[in-house]
Amino acid sequence: MKLTYPKAPSNGVQTLRPALQAALQTQGFGVNRQFASAAPARISLSEAYRGYSLSLDDLNQGKGLKNARVGDWHYLVFSGGVSIADAQLAEVRGHVEFASLNHGNLASATVDALKQAEQSPQLKGKTVELRMLFVSALHLVAIWLHAAGEDVLIPIEPTPKELALTGLYSEAALLAQLKPAADQAKGRFDADTTGLLGS
Protein backbone atom coordinates (compact mmCIF):
# COMPACT_ATOMS: atom_id res chain seq x y z
CA MET A 1 0.00 0.00 0.00
CA LYS A 2 1.29 3.43 -0.97
CA LEU A 3 -0.04 6.56 0.71
CA THR A 4 -0.52 9.81 -1.18
CA TYR A 5 -1.36 13.22 0.24
CA PRO A 6 -3.17 16.31 -1.06
CA LYS A 7 -1.16 19.45 -1.85
CA ALA A 8 -0.57 20.92 1.60
CA PRO A 9 -0.50 24.62 2.50
CA SER A 10 2.96 25.96 1.65
CA ASN A 11 3.31 27.63 5.04
CA GLY A 12 1.69 24.84 7.09
CA VAL A 13 4.82 23.65 8.89
CA GLN A 14 5.97 27.24 9.60
CA THR A 15 2.54 27.99 11.07
CA LEU A 16 2.64 24.90 13.31
CA ARG A 17 6.19 25.28 14.60
CA PRO A 18 5.59 28.16 17.09
CA ALA A 19 2.42 26.49 18.42
CA LEU A 20 4.29 23.21 18.98
CA GLN A 21 7.20 24.97 20.68
CA ALA A 22 4.81 26.84 22.99
CA ALA A 23 2.99 23.59 23.85
CA LEU A 24 6.27 21.81 24.60
CA GLN A 25 7.31 24.61 26.95
CA THR A 26 3.96 24.63 28.74
CA GLN A 27 3.84 20.87 29.43
CA GLY A 28 0.75 21.55 31.49
CA PHE A 29 -2.24 19.60 32.69
CA GLY A 30 -3.67 17.14 30.20
CA VAL A 31 -0.50 16.77 28.17
CA ASN A 32 0.53 13.15 27.74
CA ARG A 33 3.85 12.07 29.24
CA GLN A 34 5.45 11.32 25.86
CA PHE A 35 4.58 14.79 24.62
CA ALA A 36 5.70 16.45 27.85
CA SER A 37 9.12 14.76 27.70
CA ALA A 38 9.70 15.35 23.96
CA ALA A 39 12.74 17.42 23.02
CA PRO A 40 11.96 20.11 20.40
CA ALA A 41 14.99 19.01 18.33
CA ARG A 42 13.53 15.48 17.99
CA ILE A 43 10.08 16.60 16.81
CA SER A 44 9.06 15.76 13.24
CA LEU A 45 5.79 16.02 11.32
CA SER A 46 4.00 13.74 8.89
CA GLU A 47 2.76 14.93 5.53
CA ALA A 48 -0.47 16.91 5.83
CA TYR A 49 -3.84 15.23 5.19
CA ARG A 50 -7.42 16.48 5.33
CA GLY A 51 -10.22 15.89 7.77
CA TYR A 52 -13.76 15.51 6.41
CA SER A 53 -17.11 15.40 8.16
CA LEU A 54 -20.59 13.98 7.72
CA SER A 55 -23.56 15.20 9.76
CA LEU A 56 -26.48 13.27 11.20
CA ASP A 57 -28.66 14.72 8.44
CA ASP A 58 -26.22 13.36 5.83
CA LEU A 59 -26.44 9.86 7.33
CA ASN A 60 -30.23 10.03 7.73
CA GLN A 61 -30.62 11.06 4.10
CA GLY A 62 -28.35 8.25 2.90
CA LYS A 63 -25.59 10.61 1.76
CA GLY A 64 -22.10 9.15 1.50
CA LEU A 65 -18.47 10.12 1.37
CA LYS A 66 -18.85 12.19 -1.80
CA ASN A 67 -20.97 14.59 0.32
CA ALA A 68 -18.43 14.83 3.15
CA ARG A 69 -17.38 18.40 3.95
CA VAL A 70 -13.71 19.29 3.85
CA GLY A 71 -12.31 20.31 7.24
CA ASP A 72 -8.96 21.00 8.90
CA TRP A 73 -5.49 19.94 7.83
CA HIS A 74 -3.97 17.28 10.10
CA TYR A 75 -0.31 16.56 10.83
CA LEU A 76 0.92 13.68 12.96
CA VAL A 77 3.57 14.88 15.42
CA PHE A 78 6.42 12.44 16.11
CA SER A 79 9.22 12.45 18.65
CA GLY A 80 12.01 9.96 18.02
CA GLY A 81 9.76 8.04 15.63
CA VAL A 82 6.85 7.72 18.11
CA SER A 83 3.52 9.47 17.41
CA ILE A 84 2.76 11.88 20.28
CA ALA A 85 0.06 14.25 19.00
CA ASP A 86 -2.23 15.29 16.16
CA ALA A 87 -1.82 18.95 15.13
CA GLN A 88 -4.53 20.75 13.16
CA LEU A 89 -4.55 23.80 10.93
CA ALA A 90 -7.77 25.52 9.83
CA GLU A 91 -8.15 27.44 6.58
CA VAL A 92 -9.44 30.91 7.40
CA ARG A 93 -10.13 33.41 4.60
CA GLY A 94 -7.55 31.92 2.26
CA HIS A 95 -4.73 31.24 4.72
CA VAL A 96 -4.01 28.65 7.42
CA GLU A 97 -4.07 29.22 11.18
CA PHE A 98 -3.20 26.94 14.08
CA ALA A 99 -6.44 25.27 15.24
CA SER A 100 -5.64 22.65 17.88
CA LEU A 101 -3.22 20.08 19.24
CA ASN A 102 -4.65 16.73 20.30
CA HIS A 103 -2.45 14.90 22.83
CA GLY A 104 -4.95 12.06 23.25
CA ASN A 105 -5.03 8.71 21.45
CA LEU A 106 -5.86 10.14 18.02
CA ALA A 107 -2.25 10.11 16.73
CA SER A 108 -1.31 6.64 17.99
CA ALA A 109 -4.68 5.22 16.88
CA THR A 110 -4.06 6.69 13.39
CA VAL A 111 -0.63 5.06 13.18
CA ASP A 112 -2.03 1.71 14.41
CA ALA A 113 -4.83 1.83 11.81
CA LEU A 114 -2.31 2.55 9.04
CA LYS A 115 -0.22 -0.44 10.14
CA GLN A 116 -3.34 -2.59 10.02
CA ALA A 117 -4.12 -1.29 6.52
CA GLU A 118 -0.56 -2.02 5.34
CA GLN A 119 -0.94 -5.66 6.40
CA SER A 120 -4.29 -6.04 4.66
CA PRO A 121 -4.30 -8.19 1.49
CA GLN A 122 -7.21 -6.02 0.28
CA LEU A 123 -4.93 -2.97 -0.01
CA LYS A 124 -1.76 -4.71 -1.19
CA GLY A 125 -0.16 -2.82 -4.08
CA LYS A 126 -2.82 -0.08 -4.04
CA THR A 127 -2.26 3.67 -3.92
CA VAL A 128 -4.60 5.49 -1.54
CA GLU A 129 -4.93 9.05 -0.29
CA LEU A 130 -4.90 9.39 3.48
CA ARG A 131 -7.91 11.24 4.88
CA MET A 132 -9.78 11.34 8.19
CA LEU A 133 -13.56 11.16 8.61
CA PHE A 134 -15.48 12.62 11.54
CA VAL A 135 -19.13 12.10 12.45
CA SER A 136 -19.10 14.30 15.55
CA ALA A 137 -22.69 13.59 16.61
CA LEU A 138 -21.82 9.88 16.97
CA HIS A 139 -18.24 10.41 18.25
CA LEU A 140 -17.00 8.48 15.22
CA VAL A 141 -13.48 9.02 13.92
CA ALA A 142 -12.19 6.89 11.04
CA ILE A 143 -9.11 6.72 8.88
CA TRP A 144 -10.33 7.10 5.29
CA LEU A 145 -8.17 5.55 2.59
CA HIS A 146 -9.46 6.99 -0.66
CA ALA A 147 -8.72 5.52 -4.09
CA ALA A 148 -10.42 5.83 -7.44
CA GLY A 149 -13.42 3.54 -7.28
CA GLU A 150 -12.77 2.32 -3.73
CA ASP A 151 -12.85 3.78 -0.25
CA VAL A 152 -11.71 1.90 2.84
CA LEU A 153 -12.59 3.16 6.33
CA ILE A 154 -11.00 2.13 9.62
CA PRO A 155 -12.79 3.38 12.77
CA ILE A 156 -10.35 4.44 15.50
CA GLU A 157 -10.57 5.80 19.05
CA PRO A 158 -12.61 7.53 20.39
CA THR A 159 -15.26 5.75 18.27
CA PRO A 160 -17.55 3.84 20.69
CA LYS A 161 -16.96 0.07 20.40
CA GLU A 162 -20.72 -0.58 20.18
CA LEU A 163 -20.83 1.64 17.08
CA ALA A 164 -17.94 0.09 15.13
CA LEU A 165 -14.87 -1.99 15.94
CA THR A 166 -11.45 -1.19 14.49
CA GLY A 167 -11.20 -3.00 11.17
CA LEU A 168 -11.45 -2.39 7.43
CA TYR A 169 -14.90 -1.39 6.19
CA SER A 170 -16.21 -0.48 2.76
CA GLU A 171 -18.12 2.79 2.59
CA ALA A 172 -21.44 0.94 2.23
CA ALA A 173 -20.73 -1.42 5.16
CA LEU A 174 -19.73 1.31 7.60
CA LEU A 175 -22.52 3.72 6.65
CA ALA A 176 -25.09 0.91 6.97
CA GLN A 177 -23.71 0.14 10.43
CA LEU A 178 -23.94 3.82 11.48
CA LYS A 179 -27.47 4.38 10.14
CA PRO A 180 -29.46 2.99 13.13
CA ALA A 181 -27.41 5.04 15.63
CA ALA A 182 -27.73 8.12 13.41
CA ASP A 183 -31.52 7.67 13.14
CA GLN A 184 -31.79 7.25 16.93
CA ALA A 185 -29.64 10.33 17.62
CA LYS A 186 -31.59 12.38 15.07
CA GLY A 187 -34.84 11.33 16.76
CA ARG A 188 -33.48 12.57 20.11
CA PHE A 189 -32.37 15.89 18.58
CA ASP A 190 -35.71 16.38 16.83
CA ALA A 191 -37.66 15.57 20.02
CA ASP A 192 -35.57 17.94 22.16
CA THR A 193 -37.49 21.09 23.08
CA THR A 194 -34.87 22.53 25.44
CA GLY A 195 -32.47 23.47 22.63
CA LEU A 196 -29.60 22.14 24.76
CA LEU A 197 -28.81 18.94 22.85
CA GLY A 198 -25.77 19.32 20.67
CA SER A 199 -24.62 22.48 22.43
Where is average pLDDT lowest: 14-18, 27-31, 44-48?
Answer: 27-31
- pLDDT by residue (tens digit) across 62-91? 999 999 999 999 999 998 888 999 999 999
Residue 177 predicted with pLDDT over 90: yes
pTM confidence score: 0.89
Q: Which H, E and C letters describe the chain, residue by residue? A: CEEECCCCCCCHHHHHHHHHHHHHHHCCCCCCHHHHCCCHHHEEECCCEEEEECCHHHHHCCCCHHHCEEEEEEEEEEECCEEEEEEEEEEECCEEEEEEEECCCHHHHHHHHHHHHHCCHHHCCCEEEEEEEEEHHHCEEEEEEEECCEEEEEEECCCCCCCCCCCCEEHHHHHHHHHHHHHHHHHHHHHCCCCCCCC
